[in-house]
């Protein structure tokens, strides 16, 4: 420590590894514990009953309550609170001023769990969200019981102002480009499941119990998917298309389906090819 006040004399806070360093205005207080080799610096604050193991915390990061951080990096103006957990191999890199909400602070809180993921800028992860092998950036939000389930080959991407919530699941595949990506102001909610090579761009909303299994799938420009809709294969849906009920859209191998609105599909329609004039 570069100064005695770096480790508070109040509470039961402690630094267990003699090789750990705390400097440049960083503070350890309350009942916080540092185990393993930790580097805490540049006005970062660790308090409450937080447990930090073999991690780097710096540049105004605020960690409190019963947060656990294991073998991860946390950097920049951010707040980790409540029962949140960062499991090994996470990077949390906060940066304000990159969006219209200039003062918004990156937060991971309540009972959220993040593992092997990169959380950047002003992202928000909370509720009982579970995020593994994912890339979440800008003002994106993942909350409620939502799950991002990437793997060692492919991350799940949630970017810009996108939101994933309810019981929604985004699942990466193992093949090339099997990366579910939600961008701009798109949303995935309720009990929807999106798997593999799927890209949601401008103002796409997927909810209900919809299932999308990409090969690839693109949703763009005011698309609403809900009910028990199933979309499989190489499919483009764009420009004011609403799909409800138990519609099934399944592209055969080597073929593509292109649906362009404005139009509404409902009932129990089963589509296996592009409708006449559907791509115009």
Contacts of 126 (CB under 8 A, 6+ apart): 84, 107, 108, 109, 110, 112, 141, 142, 143
Residue 100's pLDDT is 75
Residue with tokens 């309720």: 190
Dist. CA 222–CA 237, nearest whole Å: 10
Residues 253/233, Cβ–Cβ less than 8 Å? yes
State both tokens at 221: 């420009």
Dist. CA 156–CA 88, nearest whole Å: 17
Give a yes or no: residue 243 inside a domain: no
Residue 65's pLDDT is 98
Beta strands 193-200 and 211-220: pairing type? parallel
Residues 38/56, Cβ–Cβ less than 8 Å? yes
**Domain ranges, residue 90:** 14-203
User: Domain count of the chain?
Assistant: 1
Residues 130/147, Cβ–Cβ less than 8 Å? yes
Dist. CA 20–CA 105, nearest whole Å: 27
Give a yes or no: residue 131 inside a domain: yes
pTM comes to 0.95
Give a yes or no: residue 4 inside a domain: no
Give a yes or no: residue 264 inside a domain: no
Give a yes or no: residue 275 inside a domain: no
Give a yes or no: residue 25 inside a domain: yes
CA distances from 45 to 56, 119, 155 (A): 12, 19, 30
Dist. CA 255–CA 273, nearest whole Å: 8
Does the bond joining 216 to the residue before it have cis omega, within 30 degrees of 0?
Answer: yes
| 4 SS3 class | helix
Dist. CA 58–CA 47, nearest whole Å: 14
Q: What is the CATH number of the domain that holds 111?
A: 2.160.10.10
CA 280 to chain centre: 35
Residues 120/142, Cβ–Cβ less than 8 Å? no
State both tokens at 21: 């360093």
Give a yes or no: residue 272 inside a domain: no
Dist. CA 85–CA 18, nearest whole Å: 24
pLDDT in tens, the chain (280 residues): 788 889 998 999 999 999 999 999 999 999 999 999 999 999 999 999 999 999 999 999 999 999 999 999 999 999 999 999 999 999 999 998 777 788 899 999 999 999 999 999 999 999 999 999 999 999 999 999 999 999 999 999 999 999 999 999 999 999 899 999 999 999 999 999 999 999 999 999 999 999 999 889 999 999 999 999 999 999 999 999 999 999 999 999 899 999 999 999 999 999 999 986 544 3
202 burial type by CB count under 10 A (0-12 exposed, 13-18 middle, 19+ buried): middle
Beta strands 156-158 and 223-225: pairing type? unpaired
Give a yes or no: residue 280 inside a domain: no
């Amino acid at each position: 420590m570069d100064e005695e006040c770096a480790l508070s004399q109040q509470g039961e806070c402690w630094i267990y590894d003699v090789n750990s360093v705390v400097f440049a205005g960083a503070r350890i207080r309350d009942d916080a514990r540092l185990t393993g080799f930790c580097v805490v610096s540049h006005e970062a604050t660790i308090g409450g009953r937080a447990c930090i193991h073999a991690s780097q915390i710096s540049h105004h990061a605020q960690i409190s309550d019963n947060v656990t951080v294991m073998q991860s990096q946390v950097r920049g103006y951010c707040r980790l609170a409540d029962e949140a957990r960062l499991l090994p191999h996470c990077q949390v890199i906060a940066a304000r001023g990159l969006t219209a909400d200039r003062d918004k602070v990156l937060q991971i809180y309540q009972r959220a769990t993040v593992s092997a993921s990169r959380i950047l800028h002003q992202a928000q992860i909370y509720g009982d969200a579970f995020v593994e092998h994912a890339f979440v950036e800008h003002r994106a939000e993942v909350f409620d019981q939502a799950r991002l389930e990437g793997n060692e080959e492919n991350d799940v991407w949630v970017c810009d102002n996108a939101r994933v919530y309810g019981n929604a699941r985004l699942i990466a595949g193992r093949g090339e480009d099997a990366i579910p990506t939600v961008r701009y102001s798109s949303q995935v909610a309720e009990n929807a499941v999106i798997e593999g090579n799927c890209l949601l761009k401008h103002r796409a909303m997927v909810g209900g119990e919809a299932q999308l299994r990409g090969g690839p799938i693109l949703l763009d420009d005011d698309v609403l998917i809900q009910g028990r809709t199933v979309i499989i294969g190489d499919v483009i849906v764009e420009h004011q298309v609403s799909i409800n009920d138990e519609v099934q859209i399944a592209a055969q191998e080597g073929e593509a389906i292109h649906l362009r609105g404005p139009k509404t599909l409902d009932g129990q329609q089963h589509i296996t090819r592009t409708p006449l004039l559907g791509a115009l």
